[in-house]
A and B are shown apart, each in its own frame.
Chain A
């Protein structure tokens, strides 16, 4: 039979977002408190297991206590966690974009040209230079429904964003159990740096290949879209999490 206090401490460990050293100290203090409280409750006549369960129940849920006991580090860590997820979305977007470029010609052929690949016919140079697409989704809904690659790309991005939104808290918890805020920060910075270099390389390639057209504007739109989706994805469960911690 599981020890309720040991189970609680294990759950709390997953929720604490702080340095490994401080985490160990907090867990030791909490466990000491719970053992002490359970012993007193047993002295009042409760069965040993009931006393442990009651002590745990009185202390607060592992989730809410994880927020409260993480101290100031949690705020910084949440930002870095969000930042890291933004990088994941951006990376996923680039991967989807690549996949769309591969799939779009086949889709175009399968639909007899009804869904033609914008990039395959290199209309980026002609269309976007005449009408900059600051938000690329507008290109899809603004009278050019033949952009199969852009459509696939953005649909995939939206699904990725929603998936991250749904799994945000789980992602945060797993990161907390795995690394300190500083580690997450460094990882996030490395990913951002990598993505920035990739974007730069892609921009130089596009500029060289297509000349000075609307590729830059399109990239601004893509980054804004990524950022928006990631922000919504990160923000919504975060608020729910804060509400849970306040209760």
Chain B
């Protein structure tokens, strides 16, 4: 159930986490875990394919930085990604409000 809930929202979570600034994949996973107080402990294998998909769609861009020891790929939001995030946020809020209204009505 938890995995099903995550499926449609992983991209939204990743885009949201990137509003705090550029990050590499591992850093994003940690950031989401900290922001959600441990609730989103994302399966690592799902994050990179999602990031690559977002990159292909032009919602994030990436660059390689030379950090001590090895090169590191870092992701950042693009202007297109920011606009898409704004749209998704509104949609998510409407969805959450609607679900909340139904839940309240049946409790």
Contact = CB atoms under 8 A, between A and B. Distances in A.
Interface residues of B, dominant DSSP? helix
Nearest to A28: B71
Interface string A22-42: 000110111111011100000
Contacts of B52: 69, 71
Nearest to A35: B70
Interface stretch (A57-65, A130-138, A179-187, A205-213): A57-65
Contacts of A29: 25, 48, 73
A68 interface: yes
Interface in B19-75: 24-26, 43-46, 48-49, 52, 56, 69-73
Contacts of B25: 29, 33
A60 B70 contact: no
B29 to A, nearest CB: 9
B18 to A, nearest CB: 16
Given A33-B26, A37-B26, A59 B73 contact: no
A32 B24 contact: yes
Nearest to A71: B52
Nearest to B50: A68
Contacts, number: 46
A37 B49 CA distance: 18
B48 A32 contact: no
Interface string A70-111: 011000000000000000000000000000000000000000
B45 A60 contact: yes
Given A37-B26, A69-B52, A32 B72 contact: yes
Contacts of B26: 32-33, 36-37
> Which of B26, B69, B71, B72 is most buried by chain A, counting CB atoms within 10 A of its CB?
B26
A32 B71 CA distance: 8
Interface in A1-34: 25-26, 28-33
A68 B49 contact: yes
Contact of B45 (A28, A37, A64): A64
B73 A60 contact: no
A72 B52 CA distance: 10
A60 B52 CA distance: 17
B44 to A, nearest CB: 5
B70 A68 contact: no
Contacts of A26: 48
Interface of B: 24-26, 43-46, 48-49, 52, 56, 69-73
25 contacts: A25-B73, A26-B48, A28-B70, A28-B71, A28-B73, A29-B25, A29-B48, A32-B26, A32-B70, A32-B72, A33-B25, A33-B44, A37-B26, A58-B43, A58-B44, A59-B44, A59-B45, A60-B44, A64-B45, A68-B45, A68-B46, A69-B49, A69-B52, A71-B49, A71-B52
Q: What 6 A-B pairs are tightest by C-beta distance, nearest first?
A: A60-B45, A68-B49, A36-B26, A29-B73, A33-B26, A59-B44
Given A60-B43, A68-B48, 12 more contacts: A26-B48, A29-B73, A32-B24, A32-B70, A35-B69, A37-B26, A37-B44, A58-B43, A58-B44, A59-B44, A68-B49, A69-B52
